[in-house]
Amino acid sequence: MAGTEPKYMARINRLKRKVFETYPEIDLEDAVILTKSFLETQGEALVTRKAKAFRKQCSEKTIKIWDDELIVGNSGSKIRGGILSADVCWSVLDRELETINTREYDKFKLLPQDKKDFEEIIRPYWKGRSNYEEWLARIPADVAALRDNGALYIDKKAVRGWGEVTAGYGWFIDNGVEGLRKKILERKAKLDDTVPGDYEKGVYLDALLITAEGMEILAERYAAEADRLAGEEKDQKRKAELRQIAENCRRVPAYPPRTFHEAMQSFYFYQICIFMEQNAAAYNPGRMDQFLYPYYKADIEAGRITPEEAQELFDCLWVKFSEPCVFQDEKTAEYSSGYPMFQNLCAGGIDKLGRDAVNDLSYMIIQATMDTQLYQPSLSVRYNMAKNPNSFLRKIVDLMVMGTGFPAFHNDEVGIRMLMNKGVPYNEAWNWNPGGCVETNLAGKLRAYSALADINLGSIVEFTLLNGRCRKTGKLAGAETGDPLTFKTYEDFLDALKRQLHYVIRTTVKASHIIDDICLERPVPALSISFEECIENASDYAWGGAKYNTGNGIICIGVADLINSVAAVKKVVYDEKTCSMTQLLSALASDFEDAPEILKACKDAPKYGNDDPFVDELAAELFGYIADEIESYRSKFGVMTPGILPVSGNTPFGKEVGALPSGRRAWRPLADGVSPNGGTDINGPTAVLKSVSNIPHDRFVQGTLLNMKLDPQMAHSENGVQQIMAMLKTLCSLGVYHIQFNVVDQKKLIEAQKKPEEYKDLLVRVAGYTAFFVELGKDVQDDIIARTMQSSVNCMTCG
Amino acid sequence: MTRGIIFNLAHYAVHDGPGIRTTVFLKGCPMRCIWCCSPQSQSFEIERSLTNEKIYGREVSPDELFAEVSRDAPFWRRSHGGVTLSGGEVLSQPDFAVEFLDICRANGVHTAIETSLFVSTEILRSVADAADLIQFDIKAMDSALHRRLTGQDNEVILQNAAWLLQSGRDCLVRFPMVPGVNDFEEELRALGSFVEKHREWAEIEILKYHRLGVGIYDELGRSYALPDVKPPTEAEAAKAKEILGGYKIKVF
């Protein structure tokens, strides 16, 4: 790449350097303004108070435009700030006030002034009032037992805002705030305050109007700041850029954009607004190549922009995506480390009429990640094998082999079916987008927590073999499904395992209902304003105002550990009787220390990931059962939804689970996503894909995640690239939903671990996202290093 | 059906013919190339490593083998790939190879073989007729050198190569380049003119010597004959390519 670098990269490199060189800091300005606003609005409706607090943030927050920027805006006051949603979870910071900069994952600097503000303004007001405290007060004993014994991770939603959503960006941009205001006023005009319910609707619509006003104030303040800087600027070129920025900010988001640049600025204003409203991960931009395309096309046709200028704007936006750092508590950071913003942005797919939707912007979006090589946005592609061109697939592979971990490759047909399984008809499901890691979403139409709770499948195996007890704590946490010594047949064992699954899923659903109830008190007018039906229904996103609502996502972690453990018990204890159940239990209790021959038998049992029907049929049966179980429950918002996406939760979950019959030693990480256990897949990538295709992907509607590390050597020749393309097409034929490649060699990772200072820019894919390797905890790093390296056979003929 | 003996299966093989292929390595070879990267391929018997941990070789029928490799069929279809028979020496188990290749053909699967051509032309013809692509090595042109390097004469090999190239069959010539051992300029020139003479614009692939199989010699309690040879450098490979490029052949 070097040597042929386009001219605009000089600016991009300067912008990037600023991000690299800035250490993440806690940013409490928004929380302080919110708190002051709440002190002024006591007695008013909660949604009104939220809206007024938002407007006050827009009116009072620090406005900064940094050197070289073409797209402006910042949710807080600091370039790499972690902002706190005080109303949701102020107490998280309270617990970590002294340790936030020394904890293992996602450290933040906390300046003395911020600490003082926290102690004097935030804590005194919010003590006893946050959603998180409410959750801690209400959590049932059986849920807490699962959580505290490492079988369930469910606090995530109580420690940050909504997120996990794709706002209606296109609708927002196209209408402009003024257009939305008009719709809100029209809706308001239909209300009759003597009709029950209309008063509340009126209050809600007024809150939306306050929010809209806040957005316009914010944009005007950016315009004024750009003008001020332009006045001081000596460099004529930069002066003109600043004047342009000012003009853009006076136009958008208030009105529909006139240019591509304005459309992109409007998008980013909205992005910072919803993040300001609630700190959370996974505000997913979604199908940007679709909603920005009309603006690009008009500019090109009018000769207002060149493709290179548009590319520069994309690259500038990509740097903006990489600035904010999600703030989360220590535990949650452990489960998804790397300051993961999960702003999942997507290229490719099909249009309303089922036609190829790939356009020039689809390629430029991929190019922007190639140019910037940053950890945000989380770049995804919807690859539709029937409709998208080979040149698009080629571009995807060109990026994959650069080793940034992007893009996440999604099989479009399966994504569409997942949306339909969520209850969205095809006439809208075609427009789906990946969100967060690999979850499925629909812009401006769909509400759910896509990853409410993580279930530890390693614990399920452990509970089955210890009659409901956790090995680490010795406490009863699961169901009492019987002493395993009484399991006469494999069917007895499998039946007990299924009853454990049933119990844990059922308990999780109960907890989900409580969180749903708490979250009714978490209205988000800034987010809701881009949901057409939230205006139409005069009902917030949090209350089910969106067009489609679905039950929360229940996520399974340790897929391969479960499958391989069941296969090993079947093979070793019941089929071949290599050892008795008693001997197996004793071997597991000692972490195989006293029983090397049983460890060997366990390890030699068939392993998932090798295209071996013995174990792959178990995978199909078990995950069919899990999907059946989860789908058998409803919440007030719809059917509960299964998914398989570990973020980095497989590492901390592993620390809670002792030795497993699969031959996995105690406290080691579990397998990630639907991937095989590291080191157990020995037949290459084709066998992995065949095994993985036994999971019923379409039914795990919150997505399934497959990680594969790929030796970059495989892509060094044209032939190698062509075969990766063919492999991806085969993945689609097999009905696998997703794959992402870590195209880095282990040597490089080990070196990066030793000399982090020299590898600041090394990106790796950690489950559903990409992070700077050196910012990850050591055990997550070790896990990445240990994953099986796939490589092709390159053997000289031996005639 | 004839049972064959094989020692390995490679999935996602992308260097053994077009597309994504499943390569089957047949066990047993009449030659003893001093650089051989798979010593376990040479004996026609099932072998064990010294530690008894590994077993090299198993018997299969053509039917069983086809069922096994067919698990990769979805990848063949998307990549225009197929199955490659390699070795050892495929042509040392001709009946098994032909029966297996016939099953592939009946099922519409593209086939390739990789061979040393050290076999009678009659046998070669029977196998070549059953396969879609024939990839063969020419390891040395000088017969004395060839004998020293492989233990066998190259007369029949060159006769077979000439016949194949003239026959118009889909062929790929491969030259295993072992620095300082068979990559002398006169050797390369002899190779270039030989191939050009029998088919203009035939394809030649230079296979760079590698040492990936050296550990297996230890496992089998054998010693490796080329401890000091290093894989060709980029410059050495480019030079060989340049020399061959002086002929009417396609080199890659």
ipTM: 0.89
pLDDT of residue A375: 87
At residue A760 the predicted structure's pLDDT band, cuts being 50, 70 and 90, is low
Distance between B125 CA and the closest CA of chain A, angstroms: 17
Distance from CA of A619 to the nearest CA of B (A): 17
Residue pLDDT, tens place only, B32-60: 999 998 899 999 999 998 887 789 999 99
CB contact under 8 A, A733 and B79: no
The span from the CA of A248 to the CA of A261, in Å, is 8
Q: Which residues of chain B does A727 touch, with a Cβ-Cβ cutoff of 8 Å?
A: 12, 20, 75, 78-79
- Least-confidence region, from A582-596, A742-756, B179-193: A742-756
Across the A:B interface, residue pairs with CB atoms under 8 Å apart total 108
User: Which residues of chain B neighbour A726 with C-beta distances below 8 Å?
Assistant: 19-20, 75, 78-81
Q: Which of A722, A792, A796 sits opposite B210 (nearest CB)?
A: A796
Select which of A249, A316, A437, A534 is catalytic: A437
pLDDT for res A269: 98
**What's the confidence (pLDDT) of residue B145?**
97
Mind listing the pLDDT tens digit for each residue in A475-515?
999 999 999 999 999 999 999 999 999 999 999 999 999 99
Q: Residues A673-730: pLDDT tens digits?
A: 999 987 788 888 899 999 999 999 999 999 999 988 776 666 777 888 898 999 999 9
B41: chain A residues, CB-CB within 8 Å: 798
Quote helix, strand, coil % in chain A, to nearest 5. 50, 10, 40
Contacts of A799 in chain B (CB under 8 A): 29, 31, 87, 89, 114-118, 136-137, 139
Judge whether B117 and B124 are in contact, CB under 8 Å.
yes
Inter-chain touch B88–A798, beta carbons under 8 Å: yes
Residue A42 scores a pLDDT above 80: yes
Q: Which residue in the set B11, B89, B207 is minimally distant from A796, CB to CB?
A: B207
User: Can you say how many angstroms the Cα of residue A180 is from the centroid of all Cα atoms in its chain?
Assistant: 28
The better pLDDT of the pair A572, A680 is held by A572
Q: Which of B14, B54, B72, B137 is the best substitution to test chain A (most A C-beta atoms within 10 A)?
A: B14
Closest residue in chain B to residue A385, using alpha carbons only: B78
pLDDT interval class at A155 (50, 70, 90): confident
Q: Do B14 and A795 touch (CB under 8 A)?
A: no
Q: What is the pTM for the complete model shown?
A: 0.91
- Domains of chain B and CATH, by start: 4-180+203-231 (3.20.20.70)
Q: Which residue is catalytic, options A216, A323, A439, A532?
A: A439
Contact A691, A631 (CB under 8 A): no
Q: What is the pLDDT of residue A713?
A: 61
Mean pLDDT rounded to a whole number for chain B? 94
Quickly list H helices, B81-130. 94-106, 121-130
What percentage of chain B exceeds 90 in pLDDT?
A: 83
pLDDT at A712: 64
Mutation target to probe the A interface, by most A beta carbons within 10 A, among B9, B16, B20 is B20
Give SS3 for A720: helix
Question: With contacts defined as CB-CB under 8 Å, which chain A residues touch B174?
Answer: 797
Whether A120 is catalytic: no
- For A192-250, what is each residue's pLDDT tens digit? 999 999 999 999 999 999 999 999 999 999 999 999 999 999 999 999 999 999 999 99
Report whether pLDDT(A430) > 80. Answer: yes
Residue A402 three-state SS: coil
Residue B38 to residue A795, Cβ atoms within 8 A: yes
Is A729–B78 a contact, with Cβ atoms under 8 angstroms apart?
yes
* HSE-CB for A368 with a 13 A CA cutoff: 32
**Mean pLDDT across chain A:** 92
Q: What confidence tens digit (pLDDT) does each residue in A164-178 have?
A: 999 999 999 999 999
Which range (A396-400, B82-86, B217-221) has the least confidence? Answer: B217-221
Question: Would you say residue A794 has pLDDT above 70?
Answer: no
CB pair distance less than 8 Å for A793 and B13: yes
Q: Measured between alpha carbons, how far is A105 from A90 in angstroms, rounded to an integer?
A: 19
Cβ-defined contact of B19 to A723 (cutoff 8 Å): yes
pLDDT of residue A275: 95
Residue A612 distance to chain B (closest CA, Å) = 10
CB contact under 8 A, B11 and A686: yes
Q: Could you tell me where the DSSP H helices lie in A322-408?
A: 330-335, 360-372, 390-400
Percent of chain A with pLDDT over 70: 95
Q: Tokens for A227? A: 């003008």
- Cβ of A798 within 8 Å of Cβ of B115? The answer is no
Residue A793 has pLDDT above 50, yes or no: no
Full DSSP string of A635-682: ETTEE-EEEB--TTTHHHHHTT----TTSPPTTPPPPPTTPPPTT---
Residue B12 and residue A793: Cβ atoms within 8 Å?
Answer: yes
Annotation marks residue A491 as catalytic: no
User: How does pLDDT run across B221-231, given as a tens digit for each residue?
Assistant: 999 888 888 88
Q: Are the C-beta atoms of B232 and B182 separated by less than 8 Å?
A: no
Nearest-neighbour CA in chain B from A322: distance (Å): 36
Instruction: Tell the burial category of A189 from Cβ atoms under 10 Å away from its Cβ (0-12, 13-18, 19+).
Output: exposed
